Amino acid sequence: MIGLLLNLITSTLRSATPLLLAALGGTFSERSGVFNIALEGIMMIGAWFAVYGSYATGSALMGVLMAVVAGILIAAIHAVASVHFQANQVISGTAINLLAAGFTEFFMVRVWGGQSPRVKTVPSVGPEWFQLSFFVYVAFGLAIISWFVLYRTPWGLRLRAVGEHPKAADTVGVSVYKMRYWGVLLSGLMAGLGGASLSIGLVSGFNSGMTGGRGFIGLAAMIFGKWNPIGAIWACLLFGAAEGLGTLLQIRGIPVPYEFMVMAPYVVTMLALAGVVGRSTPPAAGGIPYEKSH
């Protein structure tokens, strides 16, 4: 019984990790006033570059670094479109998701002939009976740091201010554009890391569609957690438990339809959002481009 519980806990933590990184990315972006539904695509790009970096250099650490850099660069496209050119943020994010799907599919064929190689992965940490990927510790550590930065530092106050009252923030000398760029770029960093946690954290390669909607579930966790990193932790643990339980039941050979296991985290996500939407208030200026008065 204790072994089963430990397996469920470790499975939950592993499943929650990419969701939490996506949720943290969404929190930084949306707290600054920029909707970022491109997290799914950025995670996909991050997952591909993590494998490519590990494959090309023989170092999982270089794979992680390439994933983070790629995530930031893709997020920069969304930042330029949304902040500088004041494009529709949903359309910009959707375009990046489509770009990511095409990019990863095309280069998987061009570079590897359509089949991803097995690459070095980030090692697990902990005793034999409770081993977790290093990504798990990084993700939950970043959640605590993100909460502290957002709610206990002047920088965090400025970021939240431009998401709530950009004109008032601008009046007191806070650069709305600069802070929004920071928010979106940080979301790219987190999502790129989340993609790496899938491809060289949970598995040791890349396959098409491996993010499986986790970027969107991360956004749901962000909403369920009320745009707060600590709230996002609990939401991601809930969604991760749904996926982890399905995985555990399959391993144990319990006769539950495979399709039910696959859809379980998405059903939990919808039920959670159905109960929270209307009671969660997003940043007041979220999704609204800001134009500086002259």
Q: State the pLDDT at residue 276.
A: 58
Q: State the pLDDT at residue 256.
A: 67
Q: State the pLDDT at residue 246.
A: 72
- Give the mean pLDDT per block of 10 residues along the chain (294 residues): 79 93 98 97 97 95 97 98 94 97 94 92 79 93 98 97 96 96 98 97 91 93 93 92 75 66 75 66 91 71
Spell out the domain ranges in the chain.
2-119+135-276
Nearest in space to 139 (alpha carbons), one of 51, 236, 230, 20: 20
Nearest in space to 48 (alpha carbons), one of 124, 123, 99: 99
Rounded distance between C-alpha atoms, residue 249 and residue 244, angstroms: 9
Nearest in space to 30 (alpha carbons), one of 214, 280, 275: 280
Q: What is the pLDDT of residues 154-185, one digit of tens each?
A: 999 999 999 999 999 999 999 999 999 999 99
Q: State the pLDDT at residue 6.
A: 83
pTM for this entry: 0.93
Answer yes or no: are the C-beta atoms of 170 and 291 closer than 8 Å: no
Q: 2-119+135-276: what CATH class?
A: mainly alpha
User: Per DSSP, what are the bridge partners of residue 132?
Assistant: 125
